[in-house]
Amino acid sequence: MTNENPVLEAKRYVENARTILREKAGKENEMYTDRKYVKLAGHAAYTGVLLALDGLFGVKTKKRKDVNWYKEQLASVDKKVLNNFVNAYELLHLYMGYDGTREAVVAQAGLKRADQIIQWVEQRTVTC
């Protein structure tokens, strides 16, 4: 893992999620056929979001933080990104990561939110 650039690492995780969906999950009529790979992709993308946010907030520990910790941090900085994070949490972590939803539209919406959050972090780290 490249701790030196959390944004690049976060992008790599999200790209890995896309690769898993494209190459492993199997897609028929806007539905993925293998929940196992949807779950892996959801977990990978959500981990990417957390890596980017940890980099922004200067988190150095590997200790697991509650989702509410991230919500509190974002609420004090940017409400729009907070809403994106809540959506990413639901789409990537819950619907994909836990439930393994087969709906391709859910996966695409989650990945879009991940991209938006990572871009936001990247813009903030460039201007800091």
CATH number at residue 100: 1.20.120.330
Which domain does 42 fall in, by range?
A: 6-127
pLDDT of residue 127: 62
- Confirm whether 64 is domain-assigned: yes
- Confirm whether 90 is domain-assigned: yes
The answer to whether 4 and 58 have CB atoms below 8 angstroms apart is no
Q: What is the mean pLDDT of residues 64-72?
A: 92
- Confirm whether 43 is domain-assigned: yes
d(C-alpha 1, C-alpha 123), whole Å: 22
* Domain count within the chain: 1
Sign of dihedral through CA atoms 13, 124, 70, 58? positive
- Confirm whether 1 is domain-assigned: no
- Confirm whether 41 is domain-assigned: yes
pLDDT at 55 over 60: yes
pLDDT one-digit tens code per residue, 19-34: 999 999 999 999 999 9
pLDDT of residue 125: 87
